C-alpha cells in the first residue's frame, strides 16, 4: 500500500502498490501526483510541502480557483524549504526520515474564503513568500543548485544588501542587483563628489555645488572617458546629511576602497567618490581603442571610497592566474592587473581567424597578475542591438 | 561540470566550473568571462558529432547562430561565465536520455553529450506560434542550459494546457502542441487580445517564460526614431 499526499491541496490518498511510478490526477484539485514507490518503512510525501500552507494558517489559504489551470503550476517553493526534503535526494536512509512527516490524520482544508458582511474586512493580505534571494519559480523536481553567493568567500552574494562604515561615511547598497540604490550618511562637513544625475534624493542639510574639478586636463579626460565634464559636490553643511544615489540604468552598484592604489573604470561606470580620490581619464592608446568601449578608461586613485554602477548585476572576481573577460562586460579592475586586449587566444595561432569573425565573442581583455575584476552580467549594447530591429523604417 | 546560477531572475548568469578535459558547447556570444585554461573552437557542428553545414543552416533558421563555440578545459577548476543578451532567467535542465524541444533562441549551452538539432514543427506552427520556424531538439545525457526573456516557470502537463504564442521556452517531447483559438470563436479570441494560442496535449513538462520579446519590442518600436 502506498500513501501519498497531493502536493497542491494536501489531500491524502492510499493506493495499491501496482500504481508505483505512475502519475495520477488529484480528485480534489486536479493537480498531477507522481506516485512514488514506497521506500522501506517510509511514508514520505511524494513532494515537499508547499510553502503557502506550511507558512500560513490553513484557514487563510485561499484556494477559490483550485480547478483552474493555475492549480497545475507547482507553487513557488522557497530555497530553505526545498533543500531538506528534496525528493531527488539520493541519500535518505531510514534514519534520515524525519518522524514529523509521518502521515497525520487527513484534515480537510477549507476551500473557500470566509465570507463576511463587510466586504473589505476579510480580504487577506497578499502573502509574501519568504525567500533568501529574489528568484524565479523553483521547480521542485529539478536538482538545481541554488546558492546565492558566488562561492567566493571574499565576495558577498549577488543580491545581498551591502553595508559598511568608512572613514568618510556610512553606506548601504540595497535592492541589488536589479534596482540597486546607495544610501550614504555623511557627518557634518562631509563631502562627496558625484556624476551629475546620480543623486536621487537627499536631506535639506546637503548642499549641492556643480563645477569643473581637477583642472582642464582631468576634466577633458573624464569627458573622453564617457563621463560628464561637470562633477557635483555634495557637502553636509547644516549638520549630518543623507544622500541616495542610483545609476542611470536598472542594475547594480559596487563599492571599492582605495588605499593608495588605483582602479580602472569602464566608460560610464563611475558614480561618486569620497574625498581623497582623484578621478581622471586615462589614454589607453591602442589597448583602449581595441576594447571597443571608448578610447579612455577612467582612473580612480588615492585613498578613499569609490562607487560605480552597471547595467546588469556586478560580480567581483579575484584573479590570481589569468582571466579573460569579453571587453563589453568589464566594469572595473584593479591597477595591479596587467591587461591586454586580444581575440580569443588559441585561435589565432592555428590560423583559425573565423572565431574572431563568427565566434561572436570577438575581443576579450586578458588579465594577468593578481587583483580584482568586476564584471557585469548584461550589456546595454546587446539590448540596443535587439531593440533596433523593432524601429520603424522610413517610408520613402 | 558544476554549475551555479546567480543574480536570478532578471540579470541571471551561469558560472560553470570544468575540470581538465571536460568541455561545453555554448551559443555564440554567450561567453562573458572565463579562466585562461580553456581552448575555444568554433564549428558549425556538434563537437565530435556529425552535422556540419546542413545542421548549421538549420540552426540558423531556428534563431540560433550558424556556429557553435566549444570550450574545453585544459586545467583543473576552470570557470566559464555565460549569460543571455537580454534581461531574463537562466535555467538548468539535466537531460537523462530523454528529448527536450527548445524554442530557437532559448538554447544557451549544453554538455557535449547532448545532440542539438533543429527540428521543423510544420508550416502552421512556424507561421503562427510566435516562435521561430525551427525548434532545437536536444537529446542525450548531460546538463542543458536555457535562457528566457523574463522569468521561467515549469508546468506539469497531464492532459491539455494552453500557452499564449511567444511564451514557450521548452517542452518534453512526450508533449504535442497545435495552434488553436483562445476562445470559442476566432473573432472573440482576437478581440480578447489573445489571438492564437498553443494547445499542448499529452503528459510531460513544459517551461514557459513570463514575458515575450516581440510584445516588448512592439511596445518600444513605434516610440523610436525611424531607421
ipTM: 0.84
Closest Cα in chain A, distance from residue B122 (Å): 26
Q: What CA–CA distance (Å, rounded) separates A363 from A359?
A: 10
Closest Cα in chain B, distance from residue A25 (Å): 8
Closest Cα in chain B, distance from residue A321 (Å): 8
Residue in B83, B94, B227 closest to A394 by CB: B227
Q: pLDDT tens, B108-144?
A: 999 988 888 777 666 666 656 556 556 788 999 999 9
**A312: which chain B residues are within 8 Å (Cβ-Cβ)?**
7, 11
Residue in B33, B153, B221 closest to A323 by CB: B33
Domains of chain B in sequence order? 2-223 (3.60.160.10)
Cβ(B107)–Cβ(B30) below 8 Å:
no
Give the CA distances from residue A346 to residues A287, A292, A351, B215, in Å, rounded to whole numbers and listed in that order.
20, 21, 9, 41
Residue B80: its pLDDT value, please?
A: 94
Tally the domains of chain A: 2
Residues A253 and A375 in one domain: yes
CB–CB of B94 and A143 under 8 A? yes
Q: What CA–CA distance (Å, rounded) separates B40 from A67?
A: 51
Structural domain includes residue A79 = yes
Residues A177 and A297 in one domain: yes
Structural domain includes residue A156 = no
Residue B52 forms beta bridges with which residues?
none
Residues A344 and A231 in one domain: yes
CB–CB of B8 and A135 under 8 A? yes
Residues A210 and A94 in one domain: no
The range of the structural domain enclosing residue A261 comes to: 162-388
Residue in B9, B35, B227 closest to A135 by CB: B9
Average confidence (pLDDT) over B58-84 = 78
CA R_g for chain B: 18
Sequence-distant (6+) residues with CB within 8 A of A153 are none
Residue A104: its pLDDT value, please?
A: 41
Residues A53 and A172 in one domain: no
**A145: which chain B residues are within 8 Å (Cβ-Cβ)?**
2-5, 92
Residues A92 and A193 in one domain: no
Boundary of a domain, candidates A101, A129, A149:
A101
Residues A171 and A88 in one domain: no
Residues A85 and A167 in one domain: no
Closest Cα in chain A, distance from residue B131 (Å): 16
Residue B14: is its pLDDT beyond 90? yes
Residue in B10, B155, B225 closest to A72 by CB: B155
**B224: which chain A residues are within 8 Å (Cβ-Cβ)?**
387, 390-392
State CA B105 to chain mean position distance.
Answer: 5
**A318: which chain B residues are within 8 Å (Cβ-Cβ)?**
none
Q: pLDDT tens, B139-197?
A: 999 999 999 998 999 999 999 999 887 888 999 999 988 887 766 666 655 555 556 78
Q: Residue A102 has which C-alpha cell?
A: 509521518
For all residues of chain B together, what is the average pLDDT? Answer: 81
The share of chain B scoring above pLDDT 70, in percent, equals 76
Residue in A31, A142, A159 closest to B7 by CB: A159
Nearest CA in chain B to A385: B85
Cβ(B161)–Cβ(B155) below 8 Å:
yes
Q: pLDDT tens, A312-344?
A: 899 999 998 889 888 888 899 998 998 887 776
Structural domain includes residue A259 = yes
Structural domain includes residue A177 = yes
Boundary of a domain, candidates A78, A101, A124:
A101
Residues A221 and A342 in one domain: yes
> Which of B27, B33, B147, B182 is the best mutation test for A, with the most CBs of A within 10 A?
B33
Residue in B15, B31, B220 closest to A387 by CB: B220
Residues of chain A with pLDDT under 50: 40-138, 140-156, 288-295, 346-360
Residue in A346, A355, A377 closest to B13 by CB: A377
Residues A282 and A170 in one domain: yes
Residue B186: its pLDDT value, please?
A: 60
CB–CB of B35 and A323 under 8 A? yes
Q: How many CB pairs under 8 A join A and B?
A: 190
Structural domain includes residue A124 = no
Structural domain includes residue A227 = yes
Residues A376 and A258 in one domain: yes
CB–CB of B156 and A72 under 8 A? yes
Other C-beta atoms closer than 10 Å to the C-beta of A390 total 17
Most confident of A23-32, A134-143, B67-76, B79-88: B79-88
> Which of A21, A134, A136, A323 is the best mutation test for B, with the most CBs of B within 10 A?
A136
Residue A5: its pLDDT value, please?
A: 76
Q: What CA–CA distance (Å, rounded) separates B173 from B99?
A: 6
Structural domain includes residue A131 = no
Closest Cα in chain B, distance from residue A337 (Å): 14
Residue in A143, A382, A392 closest to B226 by CB: A392
Residue B76: its pLDDT value, please?
A: 92
| A266: CATH | 3.60.160.10
Query: A125 phi and psi, to 5 degrees?
Result: -70, 150
Structural domain includes residue A86 = yes
Cβ(A328)–Cβ(A362) below 8 Å:
no
CB–CB of A391 and B29 under 8 A? no
Cell match 526545498: residue? A82
**B30: which chain A residues are within 8 Å (Cβ-Cβ)?**
360
Closest Cα in chain A, distance from residue B186 (Å): 21
Given pLDDT bands bounded at 50, 70 and 90, which one contains residue B94?
A: very high
**A142: which chain B residues are within 8 Å (Cβ-Cβ)?**
92-94, 154
Residues A189 and A328 in one domain: yes
Residue B63: its pLDDT value, please?
A: 54
B16: helix, strand or coil: strand
Amino acid at each position: 500500500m502506498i500513501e501519498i499526499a497531493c502536493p497542491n491541496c494536501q489531500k491524502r490518498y492510499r493506493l495499491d502498490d501496482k500504481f508505483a511510478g505512475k502519475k495520477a490526477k488529484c480528485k480534489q484539485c486536479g493537480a498531477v501526483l507522481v506516485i512514488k514507490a514506497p521506500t522501506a518503512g517510509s511514508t514520505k510525501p511524494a513532494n515537499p510541502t508547499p510553502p503557502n500552507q506550511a507558512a500560513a494558517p490553513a484557514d487563510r489559504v485561499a484556494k477559490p480557483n483550485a480547478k483552474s489551470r493555475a492549480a497545475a503550476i507547482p507553487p513557488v517553493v522557497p530555497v530553505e524549504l526545498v533543500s531538506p526534503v528534496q525528493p531527488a535526494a539520493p541519500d535518505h536512509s531510514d534514519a534520515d526520515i524525519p518522524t514529523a512527516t509521518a502521515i497525520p490524520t487527513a484534515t480537510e482544508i477549507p476551500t473557500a474564503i470566509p465570507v463576511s458582511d463587510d466586504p473589505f474586512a476579510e480580504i487577506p493580505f497578499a502573502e509574501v513568500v519568504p525567500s533568501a534571494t529574489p528568484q524565479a519559480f523553483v521547480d521542485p523536481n529539478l536538482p538545481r543548485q541554488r546558492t546565492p553567493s558566488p562561492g567566493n568567500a571574499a565576495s558577498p552574494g549577488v543580491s545581498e544588501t551591502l553595508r559598511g562604515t568608512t572613514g568618510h561615511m556610512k553606506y548601504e547598497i540595497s535592492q541589488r542587483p536589479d534596482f540597486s540604490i546607495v544610501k550614504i550618511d555623511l557627518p557634518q562637513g562631509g563631502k562627496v563628489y558625484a556624476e551629475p544625475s546620480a543623486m536621487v534624493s537627499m536631506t535639506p542639510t546637503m548642499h549641492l555645488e556643480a563645477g569643473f574639478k581637477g583642472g582642464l586636463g582631468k576634466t577633458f579626460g573624464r569627458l573622453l572617458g564617457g563621463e560628464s565634464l561637470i562633477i557635483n559636490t555634495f557637502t553636509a553643511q547644516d549638520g549630518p546629511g543623507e544622500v541616495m544615489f542610483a545609476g542611470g540604468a536598472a542594475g547594480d552598484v559596487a563599492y571599492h576602497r582605495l588605499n593608495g592604489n588605483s582602479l580602472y573604470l569602464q566608460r560610464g561606470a563611475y558614480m561618486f567618490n569620497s574625498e581623497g580620490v582623484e578621478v581622471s581619464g586615462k589614454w589607453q592608446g591602442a589597448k583602449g581603442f581595441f576594447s571597443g568601449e571608448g578610447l579612455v578608461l577612467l582612473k580612480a586613485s588615492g585613498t578613499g571610497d569609490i562607487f560605480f554602477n552597471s547595467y546588469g548585476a556586478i560580480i567581483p572576481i579575484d584573479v590570481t592566474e589569468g582571466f579573460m573577460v569579453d571587453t563589453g562586460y568589464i566594469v572595473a579592475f584593479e591597477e595591479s592587473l596587467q591587461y591586454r586586449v586580444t581575440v580569443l587566444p588559441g585561435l589565432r595561432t592555428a590560423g583559425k581567424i573565423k572565431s574572431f569573425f563568427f565566434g561572436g565573442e570577438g575581443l576579450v581583455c586578458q588579465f594577468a597578475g593578481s587583483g580584482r575584476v568586476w564584471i557585469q552580467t548584461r550589456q546595454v549594447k546587446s539590448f540596443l542591438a535587439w531593440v533596433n530591429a523593432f524601429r520603424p523604417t522610413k517610408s520613402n | 561540470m558544476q554549475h551555479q546560477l546567480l543574480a536570478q531572475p532578471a540579470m541571471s548568469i551561469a558560472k560553470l566550473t570544468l575540470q581538465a578535459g571536460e568541455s561545453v558547447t555554448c551559443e555564440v556570444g554567450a561567453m562573458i568571462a572565463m579562466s585562461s585554461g580553456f581552448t575555444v573552437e568554433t564549428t558549425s557542428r556538434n563537437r565530435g558529432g556529425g552535422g556540419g553545414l546542413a545542421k548549421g543552416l538549420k540552426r540558423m533558421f531556428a534563431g540560433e547562430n550558424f556556429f557553435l563555440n566549444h570550450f574545453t578545459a585544459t586545467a583543473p577548476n576552470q570557470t566559464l561565465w555565460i549569460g543571455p543578451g537580454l534581461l531574463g532567467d537562466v535555467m538548468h535542465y539535466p537531460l537523462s536520455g530523454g528529448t527536450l524541444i527548445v524554442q530557437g533562441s532559448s538554447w544557451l549551452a549544453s554538455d557535449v553529450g547532448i545532440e542539438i538539432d533543429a527540428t521543423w514543427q510544420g508550416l502552421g506552427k512556424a507561421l503562427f506560434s510566435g516562435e521561430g520556424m525551427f525548434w532545437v531538439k536536444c537529446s542525450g545525457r548531460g546538463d542543458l542550459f536555457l535562457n528566457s526573456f523574463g522569468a521561467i516557470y515549469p508546468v506539469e502537463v497531464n492532459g491539455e494546457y494552453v500557452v499564449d504564442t511567444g511564451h514557450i521556452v521548452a517542452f518534453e517531447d512526450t508533449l504535442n502542441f497545435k495552434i488553436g483559438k483562445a476562445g470559442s470563436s476566432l473573432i472573440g479570441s482576437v478581440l480578447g487580445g489573445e489571438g492564437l494560442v498553443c494547445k499542448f496535449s499529452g503528459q510531460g513538462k513544459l517551461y514557459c517564460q513570463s514575458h515575450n520579446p516581440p510584445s516588448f519590442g512592439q511596445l518600444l518600436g513605434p516610440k523610436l526614431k525611424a531607421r
